Amino acid sequence: MLMVLGDFVFEQQSLLPNQRSRTREQQISDHGRIGQRDVLQHLGPGRDEWVLSGSVFPLQWGSDESLNELAVLADQGGAHRLIDNQGVIHGLWMIAGLTEEQTHFNPNGRAQQIDFTVTLRRTAQ
């Protein structure tokens, strides 16, 4: 298990990302001054976003149905608790985007590889 978002578990049997990146932004306001550099003011934390990407091979491991489950969760629009594999609770997160690309189709038209990207954004507690 890599992490849990609400009731959805990111693991080899469902979706196991092979890459995870996180961006944490800060809100900064600049105030212009004549003949001098701007003065910057820190307003607090800004956007906090995780992007998880990987591949599913439905005939070997992972599940294309898991992508559908995640899409349903995203469509519900709710915030979900995110817990990593160390048991650390990272707060409430929403699914901001879900992208999938299907390739290597078998004779029945089923994709043998599905590359996916899930974008999670943190929301206020």
Three-class SS of 66-92: HHHHHHHHHHHCCCEEEEECCCCEEEE
For residue 46, the model assigns a pLDDT of: 93
Q: Are 7 and 72 in contact (CB under 8 A)?
A: no
- Distance between CA atoms of residues 16 and 55, nearest Å: 8
Q: Are 56 and 118 in contact (CB under 8 A)?
A: no
Domains, the chain, in order of start with CATH, read 3-123 (2.40.30.200)
pLDDT in tens, the chain (125 residues): 789 999 999 988 888 888 999 999 999 999 999 999 999 999 999 999 999 999 988 878 777 788 999 999 999 999 999 999 999 999 999 999 999 999 999 898 888 999 999 999 999 87
For residue 65, the model assigns a pLDDT of: 87
- Distance between CA atoms of residues 45 and 26, nearest Å: 5
Cα dihedral sign for 100, 4, 10, 85?
A: positive
pTM listed for this prediction = 0.85
For residue 12, the model assigns a pLDDT of: 81
